[in-house]
Amino acid sequence: MTMNSERSIVGKNFRKVDGVKLVTGRPAFTDDIHLPGMLIGKILPSPRAHARIKNIDASKAKALPGVHAVLTYRDVPRVPHTTAGQAWPEPSPKDTYLLDWKVRFVGDRVAAVAAESRAIAEEALRLIEVEYEDLPPVLEIEQAMAPGAPVIHDEPDSTGIHDAAHNVAGFILKEIGSVERGFREADHIFEREFRTQRQQHCSIEPHITISWLDPDNRLVIRSSTQVPFHARRQVAQILQIPLQRVHVVKPRIGGGFGGKQEMLLEDICGALALATRRPVKIEYTREEEFFMARSRHPQILRMKMGVKRDGTIVASQLTVLATTGAYGSHATTVQGNTGSKVLPLYRVPNMKFECHIVYTTAPVAGAFRGYGCPQGFLAQESLVDEIAHELKMDPIEFRRKNMIRLGDLDELSAELGEGRRGLPRRIRSCGLPECLERGAAAIDWERRRKAGPASNGHLRRGVGVACSMQGSGIAGIDWASALIKLNEDGSFHLLAGASDLGTGADTVLAQIVAETLGVSLDKITVTSGDTDFTPFDVGAYASSTTIISGGAVKKTAEKVRDQIVKLASKMLEVPPEELICRDNQVVAKSECGKAVTMADLAMHATYREKFQIIDSASHFNTDSPPPFCAQFADVEVDTETGEIRVLHLVTAVDCGVPINPRQAEGQVEGAVAQSLGYGFTEEMVLDGQGRMINPSFLDYKILSSKDMPKLTTILVETEEPLGPYGAKSIGEVAINTAAPAVLNAVFHATGVRFRKLPVRPEDVLRALGAKGDACA
Amino acid sequence: MNTIEIGVKINGDSKRWTIAPGDLLLDVLRREGYYGVKRGCESGECGACTVLLDGKAINSCVMFAAQADGCELLTIEGLAQGDTLDPIQEAFLERGAVQCGYCTPGMILSAKAFLAHQPNPTEDEVRDALAGNLCRCTGYLKPVEAVLAAAEACRRSARER
């Protein structure tokens, strides 16, 4: 089906180009440097969920020996902005301030200090005297929307808020066809409500930034960020200094998952560096990371579907209430995705998506791998399973009958663009049928479903399925650029704006360059994510890097190849169209055997022609080709303990052509682990005052090696015309389905449905008890 | 401030460090340039700060540096012999077990301590051995495969010797 056999680098399992430094522990991360005179910065987090700062007195803190700066809202520029690291103009409301006279959640910034040690900085925080005027906390979605609810954003200068007086950060209402007509035509109508919780990214490296003034008085920001270029723009804007004076450096990142698509520390760390004229480091503790960073938006989803007797879906309606917490970072765009990437998985003529995103005085939600889809697919894939069951259809057959297919045009995507009208999505590659087929075979679907649920004493066993899709970059918005130069030894330096956050992007981009230039992978050196030394890239988010940054890299490599071939043509006296690059040389296709090595050509260019072979290119797409996923779960439910034991998870994914299949599998497996945590163990629990009561890995359970089930990953290869070498994306799609796939299997095993995450053993026991199942 | 002096053998080198009695081993190691020891939680929950103390994997974030006085330490920096990687490091690269790489040093060191005592482990035993090293990137499948592959490689080279 594909031309992989002709490729020597793409589609092969090369080791990570940056792997050796990671397995040997060489200093590669933000914190792995020592700067003389570096101060430690700390942020005073608000102990109140909602309060006005009546008075703040930092004099005692400032007087403490070893303290070099204390900043409050009186000391810094007041610039409304969003922390969301999105392309300008950001679609998120500008409702956030470097420091403010109001606090809106427990953990909100009150003040910041820079001191000679962490102990002194912490002592200084204790010496800051703050007098609060308490305002009522607003923690639940329904409470925030109730008439007369306390207004969270009552400041006059914020912009882009849909309805600040009623705590509505954003509102979305889009319809394709007429759901009213669709429901009239339907033989059966199903409607269910689902609830999802706050999940935290839990990157093992917390947010960290080190900032200093370089000898030219420019502000260097060394930061664990997915968006160096957005962070540069945001910091310049917030600190009111020229963008030219800001240099953002992205070293290795210890995991991001969207949490580092937020400008969280760069601004305040920069402000402290400017105030002290000393290097300053701010690093969140694990506890701070939990409630001062970002989380997944909790949602209440009401989904309604109308179907014909034969299983044809004729109307699909999703109504979502979501909370963005205290600030509207990614508010409308995450929730827009809950509609635009979820509903069109099924080709329904009448679709409606309505969403209210409200402020609460709770920890702030933001971008998180999946970006609104895990919530949406929980609802849709659970409901579809229920409908299939009621119609006595096999869940796979029901999906096959309705699912999107090759050549389809998805109009809902156009309606639900990135905070404005977007572009329609044409399906140019679709491996979903094959994902279903191969996944079903791997879980032994037909036999297991025919045999029905298995029962062994107090154990019940069943299998379930769920499907999803995602995007590959944001159509018409995400773009990237790259620059490649030839060194005189025949090696190449790739300078890419892209931000490898541990995903293997540097390796994938290097593979694309090596493939295009016909050289071995070890000839490529990668420098990425540095605003001084690499050209622009929006950053690592929206599953964009392989397709968008990879597209830029491929275009660049093609331009460089043209230069190389032109010179080789002159050197070899062979017409350019007769030459190809392969095996680290330029060779004539004909039998004349003429060839020049890349190294000889490079020396010739450098010292004879006196010419640098170098080029750059930019790339964006007007469409966002979806990767597809079908996930199958084999589970056992213990009716005595309520434990759900996942025995086997099969994930079949169509990511186009995987540039590095092993890395692609790794993306799937990691996403599945986070998805299982989302379904069954992870939840940020707040008390009545908005304080998170479980901000540690002891009390907030992410899965360990012992908790993971057997995983099978199947890469279903398709050729995507819009992607470099046929690639789509792989970073997010597999995070959407573990919860619904497992819960559908739990239903198969026990006949009980769960619609609120996370589902814990006590929930299962309670539900089984209510159903009257033998819990002897 | 009160200071004390401790002596350790770290990655084969004898060192004397002046520390405060309350200094954590993690902080001292990073201060001394052993940046491969990572800070993830400072409460002994994530395992990113794992080092080997007299051959045993410990969380350096919940141990006083003073407690390491007279001990032998191994950090990730001391695992390779020059440019020759340890079989576990090789296996992590070959099997795609590294994504962001932040938990990797701790995970490799836990595996190192484990394989020294159990050269022929089952998958379940490997999963037990790595359970103290949280990873948010990989889903653990490839790290577990890497440790099993490293064990196999070590047994093979032992047979050949």
Q: What is the 3-state secondary structure (H, E, C) of A299-342?
A: EEEEEEEEECCCCCEEEEEEEEEEEEECCCCCHHHHHHHHHHCC
The β-bridge relationship of strands A246-249 and A219-223 is: parallel
Which candidate from B35, B75, B138 shows the least CB-CB separation from A27? B35
Which candidate from A286, A666, A706 shows the least CB-CB separation from B128? A706
Residues B92 and B51 in one domain: no
Question: Is A420 near chain B, with CB under 8 Å?
Answer: no
**B1 has pLDDT over 70:** no
Q: What is the pLDDT of residue A419?
A: 65
Burial class (CB in 10 A: 0-12, 13-18, 19+), A594: middle
- Report which residue type is found at A654: D
Residues B29 and B73 in one domain: yes
Question: Is B2 near chain A, with CB under 8 Å?
Answer: no
CB B74 within 8 A of CB B11: yes
CB A764 within 8 A of CB A458: no
Residues B73 and B105 in one domain: no
Q: Which domains does chain A have, with CATH numbers?
A: 4-27+479-620 (3.30.365.10), 39-135+204-255+260-292 (3.90.1170.50), 299-473+623-771 (3.30.365.10)
Q: What is the pLDDT of residue A591?
A: 79
- Count of the separate structural domains present in chain B: 2
Q: Tell me how many degrees the CA angle A104-A105-A111 measures, rounded to the nearest 5.
A: 80
For B51, the closest chain A residue by CA position comes to A25
Query: Are A697 and B103 in contact (CB < 8 Å)?
Result: no
Distances (CA, A) of A184 to A173, A188, A189, A309, A347: 21, 10, 9, 13, 18
Residues B122 and B142 in one domain: yes
Q: What is the pLDDT of residue A2?
A: 44
Residues B91 and B156 in one domain: yes
Tell which of B78, B97, B124 closes a domain.
B78
Q: What is the pLDDT of residue A776?
A: 38
**Integer Cα distance of A446 and A773 in angstroms:** 26
Q: What is the pLDDT of residue A775?
A: 45
Nearest to A20 by CA among B103, B136, B90, B150: B90
Residues B12 and B36 in one domain: yes
Residues B50 and B102 in one domain: no
Q: Which residues of B touch A19 (CB under 8 A)?
A: 92-93, 98, 101
**Integer Cα distance of A59 and A77 in angstroms:** 20
Tell which of B78, B113, B143 closes a domain.
B78
Domain residues for the domain of B30 are: 4-78
Question: Is B144 near chain A, with CB under 8 Å?
Answer: yes
Give the tokens for residue A362. 């709770």
Backbone angles phi, psi at A52, to 5 degrees: -100, 140
Query: Are A286 and B43 in contact (CB < 8 Å)?
Result: yes
Residues B8 and B73 in one domain: yes
Q: Which B positions 68-87 lie with beta carbon below 8 A of chain A?
A: 75-77, 79-80, 85
**Integer Cα distance of A297 and A287 in angstroms:** 19
Q: In angstroms, what separates the C-alpha of B32 from chain A's closest C-alpha?
A: 10
Query: Are B136 and A702 in contact (CB < 8 Å)?
Result: yes
Which residues does residue A133 pair with via DSSP β-bridges, in sequence order?
A: A52
Give the tokens for residue A49. 């969920």
Question: Is B33 near chain A, with CB under 8 Å?
Answer: yes
Q: What is the pLDDT of residue A411?
A: 86
Q: What is the pLDDT of residue A421?
A: 76
Q: Chain centroid to CA A269: how far?
A: 24
The β-bridge relationship of strands A188-195 and A168-176 is: unpaired
Query: Are A26 and B43 in contact (CB < 8 Å)?
Result: no
Which candidate from A25, A257, A669 shows the least CB-CB separation from B141? A669
Residues B69 and B97 in one domain: no
**Average pLDDT along chain A, 776 residues, taken 10 residues at a time:** 70 97 98 97 98 98 98 98 96 98 98 98 98 97 95 98 98 96 98 98 98 98 98 98 98 98 98 98 98 98 98 98 98 96 97 98 98 98 98 98 96 79 90 98 97 93 98 93 98 97 96 98 97 97 96 98 98 96 95 93 98 97 96 98 98 98 98 98 97 98 98 98 97 98 98 98 95 56
Which candidate from B36, B96, B102 shows the least CB-CB separation from A663? B96
Distances (CA, A) of B106 to A363, A705, B150: 31, 14, 16
Question: Is B62 near chain A, with CB under 8 Å?
Answer: no
Query: Are A705 and B144 in contact (CB < 8 Å)?
Result: yes
Q: Count of residues for chain A?
A: 776
Tell which of B61, B78, B95 closes a domain.
B78
**Integer Cα distance of A739 and A632 in angstroms:** 11
Residues B25 and B58 in one domain: yes
Say what the pTM is: 0.97
- What CATH number should be reported for the domain holding residue B57? 3.10.20.30
Query: Are A672 and B92 in contact (CB < 8 Å)?
Result: no
Give the tokens for residue A516. 């295009």
Residues B67 and B111 in one domain: no
Mutation site, B100, B122, B127, B142, interface A, largest A CB count within 10 A: B100
Query: Are B94 and A204 in contact (CB < 8 Å)?
Result: no
Q: What is the pLDDT of residue A739?
A: 97
- What CATH number should be reported for the domain holding residue B108? 1.10.150.120
Q: Chain centroid to CA A497: how far?
A: 18
Residues B71 and B109 in one domain: no
Q: Which residues of A touch B34 (CB under 8 A)?
A: 25
Q: What is the CA radius of gyration of chain B?
A: 16
**Integer Cα distance of A549 and A727 in angstroms:** 12
Q: Give alpha helix (H) positions in A71-140.
A: 118-127
The conformation of residue A712, written as its DSSP 8-state character, comes to: E
